[in-house]
Chain A
């Protein structure tokens, strides 16, 4: 399966607000659908997403069945120090995915 796509600027100025975009591959099966033979298709969704900046959590989201496949998050934070952004997704059936991105603050 594809790796999550992370888009952050490589360099930002201190104090500047910058944009973070993430996209992950996931079917987000709602659990409300049935097969043609009447069997329920079990729920299989991402339930949480979080992002921390040098260890400090800056963004968190809980996901529910109404969210479409391949969830995309777009959010902003303020550049403080150079370091890493850690992204984590967890979900049904033990789904766990993570990614990191480096950022240089000038």
Chain B
């Protein structure tokens, strides 16, 4: 796998990795999960303006996607000529709490599916339409619209034994060193959250508000886009959109954030 490029990392990459490792070793909580009561949403570390942007729907640019999502929800599509609303009726009722329990187990796929994949499964199976491309405006819009219905609810991963091995697989990925920088997600987000990496605060990586409007992207983006960002930053080859590894990571992250409030669609720098 290309993610093991660390084996051929150039000297400079090694040196950086060693420097980072020293930081990681200096941390007392090395390798341990964040205690439940110390977990915090990235929202708490936002500046005043960014908080205001997230809190007011008429300022939050993600609302533009939510509106598109609402239109798509009611729009007939595919050979079946059905809209989401024809089966699920009013999303404000039927979709309440759904985003809080995804990714969920799909018997058909014999594994977890995230919200984006669930929407596309509905499209291909029930609407008989082309699935939306990952990260397309349409898929982000529908995901944001569905996610919006669970805002303020606690993240509640399903109590499903069939998911356990996939959560474990996600945890392994989270703790596995990758890329030329040769670091794991956990070394930053479990061991050194709250400290600085260059000028930026290291957050806990709690996925409380996806899809998020990220100011850096000037657009809405999915959790997998964010995960791929971090992997690229570690100079690893990022897993493809929708790859099982990314879904397992999502599943683990949502389990890790269980009980925290969903903020979808959130704003982040």
Give A contacts to B, CB under 8 Å. 1-3, 5-7, 21, 23-25, 27-28, 68-70, 72
CB distance from A10 to the nearest CB of B (A): 13
Tell me the complex Cα distance, A21–B218, Å.
Answer: 19
**Known A1-B68, A23-B64: A28·B59 in contact at CB below 8 Å:** no
Tell me the nearest residue of chain A to B219, going by C-beta. Answer: A69
Number of B interface residues in the complex (CB < 8 A): 11
Cβ B58 vs Cβ A23 within 8 A: yes
Cβ A68 vs Cβ B218 within 8 A: yes
Tell me the complex Cα distance, A1–B64, Å.
Answer: 8
Tell me the complex Cα distance, A73–B215, Å.
Answer: 16
Residues of chain B from 199 to 216 with CB closer than 8 A to chain A in the complex: 215
Tell me the nearest residue of chain A to B63, going by C-beta. Answer: A5
Cβ A70 vs Cβ B61 within 8 A: yes
Tell me the complex Cα distance, A25–B65, Å.
Answer: 9
Sample of 17 further A-B pairs with CB below 8 A, known A68-B218, A69-B219: A2-B63, A2-B65, A2-B67, A3-B67, A5-B63, A6-B58, A23-B58, A23-B61, A23-B64, A24-B64, A25-B64, A27-B218, A68-B215, A69-B61, A70-B61, A70-B64, A72-B59
- Taking CB atoms, residues of chain A closer than 8 Å to B65 are 2
Cβ B58 vs Cβ A5 within 8 A: yes
Residues of chain B from 41 to 67 with CB closer than 8 A to chain A in the complex: 58-59, 61, 63-65, 67
CB distance from B91 to the nearest CB of A (A): 16
Q: Looking at chain A's contact residues, is the secondary structure mostly helix, strand, loop, or mixed?
A: loop
Residues of chain B from 61 to 85 with CB closer than 8 A to chain A in the complex: 61, 63-65, 67-68
Count of A-B residue pairs with CB < 8 Å: 36
CB distance from B136 to the nearest CB of A (A): 14
Q: When each residue 214-230 of chain B gets 1 if its CB lies under 8 Å from chain A and 0 otherwise, what string results?
A: 01001100000000000
**7 interchain pairs (CB within 8 A)?**
A2-B63, A2-B64, A2-B67, A2-B68, A23-B58, A27-B218, A70-B218
- Taking CB atoms, residues of chain A closer than 8 Å to B68 are 1-2
Tell me the complex Cα distance, A1–B72, Å.
Answer: 11
- Taking CB atoms, residues of chain A closer than 8 Å to B58 are 5-7, 21, 23
**Known A2-B68, A3-B67: A28·B61 in contact at CB below 8 Å:** no
CB distance from A75 to the nearest CB of B (A): 14
CB distance from B232 to the nearest CB of A (A): 15
Cβ A28 vs Cβ B218 within 8 A: yes
Tell me the complex Cα distance, A87–B83, Å.
Answer: 32
Tell me the complex Cα distance, A72–B68, Å.
Answer: 18
Tell me the nearest residue of chain A to B217, going by C-beta. Answer: A69
Tell me the complex Cα distance, A23–B53, Å.
Answer: 12
Tell me the complex Cα distance, A3–B58, Å.
Answer: 12
Tell me the nearest residue of chain B to A6, going by C-beta. Answer: B58
- Taking CB atoms, residues of chain A closer than 8 Å to B59 are 7, 21, 23, 72
Tell me the complex Cα distance, A54–B265, Å.
Answer: 35
CB distance from A99 to the nearest CB of B (A): 12
